[in-house]
């Protein structure tokens, strides 16, 4: 089974010559092509907006690409709010879908006019007490409990998830918000993650549309949007069938026309907060093979580690690997591909069949465009690698430099003997 790379070996070497290895690289042509398709799939809905989930790929240069399509940003922390604002987003182009939120983050979100999405009913008095007056439009996050199933089985377990409010709390929250002058309402839910099926959004939309009708009836509130959040997945493994965003958009349209239009609610806007689907396939981690080790198993040591891509270590997630320049080679060698952390789960692949790897080969780890660099950390004093954007004309630019040891030690800056690296 093969998977296409968006980078040739020559291009990868050209980038490596300039910025070293490892690096995360993003494919602007792929990002734009997909954004176009997302926009088209929901163009039937006048108010449609994708709020890109900043946490997936927190980089202003990526956010700015999405601005070209009229998209917004979905933020959940102070850093994400500030990054979105610095990139030029403000007002209702920012959705603040946070949880366990500190007062100062609500305050800042309110200052820049972001749409507030309350994760819990207790957040409403907390907001009133700490921030003040509520905006005209407010969203609430719903959690129906139980399990969430599609035709291929149970997808996720909302009953076990910390997010959102029960149905009764949604009703109570809407009444409370209305009493405090809120005029327009949104409903949000995120019930399953990385769904690789076209059924997820339409099924979720059906549940949320029914809830909207019920809340409108019971509370007499104006529902202005339904936020389907994230959860649309990508095929990490080459044998998975990818999602078809056109069919997903058409599926949501069908439910919309069936449930909302007959009730005269055909002005409701559809919002999404996709991260993985917008970026996952359009990023790769490129790393060089620097060691081989032959003990009870065959190991290839690369110059990236789990600090650059945590998903395999954290979730046992599969990421496809291509040995650049050996795309058509026979995969007749079985390897564990490892990083250098003193943690045995620091393996990008276990028992993976690959063409024979020679020292110096460039290893292309697929589908790291979302939740890849973003989940970087500094365990073992390992540093963040650079992020590079490959443009449509084949040129490329650095969109975030590598972290340096000086950055790593900078937070000892009140102790110059430990923060000033010129000494050692
Ligand atoms: C993580 C997250 C998203 C994005 O999820 P993806 O699976 O990457 O699409 C959207 N909204 C919220 C509130 C999230 O926490």
User: Which atom of ligand 1 is least distant from the CA of 194?
Assistant: 7
pLDDT digits (tens, 9 = 90+) for 326-344: 999 999 999 999 999 999 9
Q: Which of 244, 279, 314 is the last residue of a domain?
A: 279
Residue 422 has pLDDT above 80, yes or no: no
Q: Kindly report the protein residue whose alpha carbon is nearest to atom 2 of ligand 1.
A: 230
Q: Domains in the chain: how many in total?
A: 2
422 occurs within a structural domain: no
Confidence of residue 421 (pLDDT cuts 50, 70, 90): confident
Q: What angle do CA 269, 274, 279 make, to 5 degrees?
A: 140
Q: Select from 50, 51, 273, 311 the residue to mutate for testing ligand 1; criterion: most ligand atoms less than 8 Å from CB.
A: 273
Residues 225 and 309 in one domain: no
Nearest alpha-carbon partner for 11 in 396, 359, 319, 401: 396
State the pLDDT at residue 347.
Answer: 98
Mean pLDDT, range 81-85, rounded to an integer: 98
Residues 149 and 36 in one domain: yes
DSSP, residue by residue, 25-54: EEEHHHHHHHHHHHHHHTTTSTT-EEEEEG
Q: Select from 84, 190, 317 the residue to mutate for testing ligand 1; criterion: most ligand atoms less than 8 Å from CB.
A: 190
Residue 419 has pLDDT above 90, yes or no: no
Residues 43 and 144 in one domain: yes
Name which residue leads in pLDDT, 420 or 186. Answer: 186
228 occurs within a structural domain: yes
Q: Which of 223, 247, 279 is the last residue of a domain?
A: 279
Nearest alpha-carbon partner for 111 in 131, 97, 130, 93: 131
Return the minimum-mean-pLDDT range out of 125-139, 142-156, 176-190.
Answer: 142-156
Cα-to-centroid distance, 388 and ligand 1 (Å): 23
181 occurs within a structural domain: yes
Cα-to-centroid distance, 383 and ligand 1 (Å): 25
Residues 64 and 174 in one domain: yes
Name all residues whose Cβ lies below 6 A of ligand 1.
Answer: 53, 55-56, 74, 97, 190, 193, 229-232, 273-277, 370
Nearest alpha-carbon partner for 60 in 26, 87, 79: 87
State the pLDDT at residue 110.
Answer: 98
Q: Select from 98, 230, 280 the residue to mutate for testing ligand 1; criterion: most ligand atoms less than 8 Å from CB.
A: 230
User: Which atom of ligand 1 is least distant from the CA of 141?
Assistant: 13
Residues 110 and 245 in one domain: yes
State the pLDDT at residue 228.
Answer: 98
Residue 153 has pLDDT above 90, yes or no: no
What dihedral do alpha carbons 145, 147, 149, 154 form, nearest 10°? Answer: 160
Residue 103: other Cβ atoms inside 10 A:
12
Structure tokens at 29: 């042509």
Say whether 155 sits in a helix, a strand or coil: strand
User: Which atom of ligand 1 is least distant from the CA of 278?
Assistant: 9
Residues 211 and 342 in one domain: no
Percent of the chain, pLDDT > 90? 96
Q: Kindly report the protein residue whose alpha carbon is nearest to atom 13 of ligand 1.
A: 97
Residues 172 and 241 in one domain: yes
Residues 347 and 267 in one domain: no
Task: Answer for the pair 346, 340: CB distance below 8 angstroms, yes or no.
Answer: yes
pLDDT digits (tens, 9 = 90+) for 128-138: 999 999 999 99
Q: Select from 34, 51, 55, 282 the residue to mutate for testing ligand 1; criterion: most ligand atoms less than 8 Å from CB.
A: 55
420 occurs within a structural domain: no
Residue 417 has pLDDT above 90, yes or no: no
Cα-to-centroid distance, 264 and ligand 1 (Å): 30
Cα-to-centroid distance, 273 and ligand 1 (Å): 6
Residues 302 and 255 in one domain: no
Residues 257 and 178 in one domain: yes
The CATH number covering residue 378 comes to 2.40.37.10
State the pLDDT at residue 15.
Answer: 98
The CATH number covering residue 117 comes to 3.20.20.10
22 occurs within a structural domain: no
**DSSP secondary structure letter of residue 303:** S
Confidence of residue 18 (pLDDT cuts 50, 70, 90): very high
Residues 235 and 324 in one domain: no
Q: Which of 257, 279, 301 is the last residue of a domain?
A: 279
State the pLDDT at residue 58.
Answer: 98
- What is the C-alpha separation between 254 and 300, in angstroms, rounded? 50
169 occurs within a structural domain: yes
Mean pLDDT, range 194-201, rounded to an integer: 96
Mean pLDDT, range 236-241, rounded to an integer: 96
336 occurs within a structural domain: yes
Per the structure, the complete domain to which residue 336 belongs is given by: 281-412
Residues 6+ apart with CB under 8 A from 390: 6, 7, 11, 15, 25, 26, 27, 28, 29, 396
Mean pLDDT, range 153-173, rounded to an integer: 95
Residues 61 and 186 in one domain: yes
Mean pLDDT, range 268-276, rounded to an integer: 98
User: Which atom of ligand 1 is least distant from the CA of 117?
Assistant: 13
8 occurs within a structural domain: no
Mean pLDDT, range 39-62, rounded to an integer: 98
pLDDT digits (tens, 9 = 90+) for 97-128: 999 999 999 999 999 999 999 999 999 999 99
Q: Mean pLDDT, the chain, as a whole number?
A: 97
Mean pLDDT, range 257-285, rounded to an integer: 97
Mean pLDDT, range 272-301, rounded to an integer: 98
């Amino acid at each position: 089974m093969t998977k296409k790379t968006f980078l040739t070996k020559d291009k990868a070497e050209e980038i490596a010559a300039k910025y070293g290895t490892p690096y995360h690289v993003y494919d602007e042509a792929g990002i734009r092509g997909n954004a176009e398709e997302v926009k088209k799939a929901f163009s039937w809905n006048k108010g449609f907006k994708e709020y890109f989930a900043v946490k997936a790929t927190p980089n202003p240069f990526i956010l700015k690409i999405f601005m070209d399509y009229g998209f917004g940003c979905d933020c959940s922390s102070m850093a994400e709010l500030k990054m979105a604002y610095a990139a030029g987003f403000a007002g209702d182009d920012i959705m603040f879908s946070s949880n366990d939120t500190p007062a100062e983050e609500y305050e800042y979100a309110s200052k820049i006019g972001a749409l507030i999405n309350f994760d819990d009913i207790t957040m409403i008095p907390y907001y009133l007490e700490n921030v003040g007056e509520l905006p005209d439009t407010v969203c609430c996050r719903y959690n129906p409990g139980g399990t969430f199933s599609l035709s291929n089985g149970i997808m996720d377990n909302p009953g076990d998830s910390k997010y959102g409010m029960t149905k009764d709390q949604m009703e109570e929250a809407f009444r409370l918000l209305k009493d405090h002058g809120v005029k327009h309402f949104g409903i949000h839910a995120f019930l399953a993650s990385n769904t690789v099926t076209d059924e997820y959004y339409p099924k979720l939309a059906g549940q949320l549309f029914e809830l909207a009708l019920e809340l409108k009836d019971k509370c007499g509130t104006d529902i202005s949007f339904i936020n389907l959040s994230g959860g649309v997945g990508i095929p990490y493994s080459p044998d998975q069938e990818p999602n078809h965003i056109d069919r997903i958009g058409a599926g949501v349209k069908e439910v919309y026309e069936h449930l909302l239009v007959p009730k005269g609610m055909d002005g409701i806007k559809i919002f999404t907060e996709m991260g993985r689907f917008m970026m996952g396939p359009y990023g790769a981690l490129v790393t060089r093979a620097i060691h081989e080790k032959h003990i009870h198993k065959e190991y290839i040591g690369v110059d990236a580690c789990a600090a650059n891509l945590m998903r395999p270590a954290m979730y046992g997630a599969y990421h496809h690997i291509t040995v650049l320049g050996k795309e058509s080679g026979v995969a007749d060698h079985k390897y564990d591909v490892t990083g250098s952390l003193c943690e045995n789960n620091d393996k990008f692949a276990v028992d993976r069949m690959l063409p024979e790897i020679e020292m110096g080969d460039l290893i292309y780890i697929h589908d790291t465009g979302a939740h890849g660099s973003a989940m970087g950390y500094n365990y073992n004093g390992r540093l963040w690698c650079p992020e590079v954007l490959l443009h449509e004309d084949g040129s490329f630019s650095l969109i975030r430099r590598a972290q340096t040891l000086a950055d790593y030690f900078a937070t000892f800056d009140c102790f110059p003997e430990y923060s000033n690296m010129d000494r050692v």
